[in-house]
Chain A
């Protein structure tokens, strides 16, 4: 591995770690901690989605469903099956991964917009189960989620969850950066560039697409569980299809194929609506306008486009 690649990989993770460590020094109140925590949680899901979309080049409009599975696992597991919360979280991630594995085999044969509509349908089917199986999920009103208790210590409040989600995000970024530079990551990128060509070169296309899909489902489920535990409740809105669209928008806005881009995209769409509340009724007008303008002028996403601009200036 070249020095440059080493620096790139560790630089990104290190930068993120420093950000997570330093940010609490400047965040003035719990409100800001909450926004930072939400950013980290969504970034976790978007990071996973970016593995599928940005690296392996497969669209998914259904990740809200996996997010929902994680969220409902920590709600339904403890309430109805007596599973402790700390065990329900990984169980939910496992369940999402298993579902992605089973459904990914037939779905990932589809290409482009057909894959988009199939994943969209999958996400909606999952969300519909949450809405309709009211005896387990509380129906449209949702249900409350017990606190995460580890060794007698109960995780609650924005500051605690800031650290849990922040550390998890750094860990996930480290995992993603390592994966991207591994043979598996190279296979992802080969598939992105051309499926037939990578197939001819001996890459097992179906298998690697499935790996990326399952991994991203697990990321999304963990993020969903965090959100449910942090909020102390979950409703079908957690998993609705607008959530999937939001994840895709975050990934593309921040930059496909960029780990930092995932965080920036998540931050953009988490912070902006808070800032835009000053516009009152015009909130959505400004949000839509900003999305259009950013995509028009930074068409490869915020981070990749800016990175290119900066590095081009240096001879």
Chain B
């Protein structure tokens, strides 16, 4: 039982980060129809900027805010200079553009920062807590709490503010949104900014546990994308559940079956789920027009 709990804690911690990445994918996809493969780079920026700002003597909370600001600026730049000029191009062309952007961002990060691994001190110092025989680091609790706070804030933002509602409207029908006077270009830009901020927060929270380097984004984007698809593309709840499930599958797979095949177990389950539910766990079947 203690062992089970231990795996569950570590799975949920990693899963919370996957969920944030998946949520970022979902936001941009809903607003613009683009699968943004540079999503993992926002997570990397969150961690790396915090590390280097903190090393330069900036107080940690300020360094974290700075990192979020940098990621948001990069997200906006990505939209303004790469996605918006290619408006109307096919989905696969836009995907390759985001892949190009992720190569570019990784290259820049390796120059501006370096290629080594970096860690941050835990935000809440102290001993691990004992829960039911398993131990949980305060930082893990912070990752989970932080992710939950992001989800709640996002929900409030989407359902209570005008910008959030305009985002939902743009996602539902861009043409109709424009007809009622919503500046959809600005809204899509805002969704890139919010998505970047979410990714950066994930990166900041998890860096004390998993370390970071210029290259961490690739694998996170891969996992986040898979999680979003497992949940059902375009469904925020699906993204969160998908992320947590992928994290848990990895942890339990590594613990009970084989640590060498932990990624394999997650992908095997994703494949099986998609065979039974071709639109993911929460996705709705689309109707194709001829």
- Chain A residues in the interface with B (C-beta under 8 A): 53, 59, 106-107, 109-114, 116-118, 120-122, 124-125, 128, 131-132, 194-197, 200, 241-242, 245, 248-249, 252-253, 256, 281-292, 295-296, 299-300
* CB pairs A–B below 8 angstroms (9 shown): A118-B274, A121-B268, A121-B270, A196-B288, A282-B111, A286-B107, A291-B99, A295-B93, A300-B93
**Are A249 and B99 in contact (CB-based, < 8 A)?**
yes
B99 close to A128 (CB less than 8 A) = no
Check B86–A284 contact: CB distance below 8 A. Answer: no
Of the residues A121, A252, A287, contact of B96 by C-beta under 8 Å: A252
Q: How far is the CA of A283 from the CA of B101 in the complex (A)?
A: 14
A120 close to B97 (CB less than 8 A): no
- B71-107: which residues lie under 8 A (CB-CB) from chain A? 82, 85-86, 89-93, 95-97, 99-107
Interface residues of B in 243-290 (CB under 8 A from A): 260-261, 263-264, 267-268, 270-271, 274-275, 278-280, 288, 290
- The verdict on B139 contacting chain A, using a C-beta distance below 8 Å, is no
In the complex, are the beta carbons of B104 and A114 less than 8 A apart? no
Does B225 contact A117, Cβ atoms closer than 8 Å? Answer: yes
Chain B interfacial residues counted at CB < 8 A? 46
Does chain A have a CB within 8 A of B2?
no
| Residues of A contacting B: mostly | helix
Contact A124 B267 (CB under 8 A): yes
Question: Which of A53, A106, A286 has the most C-beta atoms of chain B within 10 angstroms of its own C-beta?
Answer: A106
Given contacts A110-B278, A292-B100, A300-B90, 13 further A-B contacts (CB under 8 A): A113-B35, A114-B229, A117-B229, A118-B271, A125-B264, A200-B290, A248-B92, A256-B92, A284-B107, A284-B110, A292-B82, A295-B89, A295-B97
Chain B nearest CB from A67 CB (Å) reads: 18
Partner of A253, one of B89, B96, B102, B271: B96
User: Which of A109, A245, A249 has most chain B Cβ within 10 Å?
Assistant: A245
- Contact present for A121 and B267 (CB under 8 Å): yes
Residues of A within 8 A of B39 (CB): none
Instruction: Give Cα A109 to B222, complex, Å.
Output: 22
B residues within 8 Å of A by Cβ? 35, 82, 85-86, 89-93, 95-97, 99-108, 110-111, 218, 222, 225-226, 229-230, 233, 260-261, 263-264, 267-268, 270-271, 274-275, 278-280, 288, 290
Rounded to whole Å, the gap between the CB of A297 and the closest CB of chain B is 9
Q: Which residue of A lies closest to B262 (CB)?
A: A128
- Smallest CB–CB gap between A282 and chain B, Å? 7
A195 CA / B99 CA spacing, docked (Å): 28
CB pair B111 A281 closer than 8 Å? yes
Complex Cα–Cα for A174 and B180 (A)? 54
Are A248 and B102 also in contact (CB < 8 A) when A114-B229, A287-B107 are?
no
* Given A288-B100, A288-B101: A117 touches B226 (CB 8 Å cut-off): yes
Report A-chain residues with C-beta under 8 Å of the C-beta of B288.
Answer: 194-196
Taking the closest CB of chain B, its distance from the CB of A153, in whole angstroms, is: 41
A242: chain B residues at CB < 8 Å are: 218
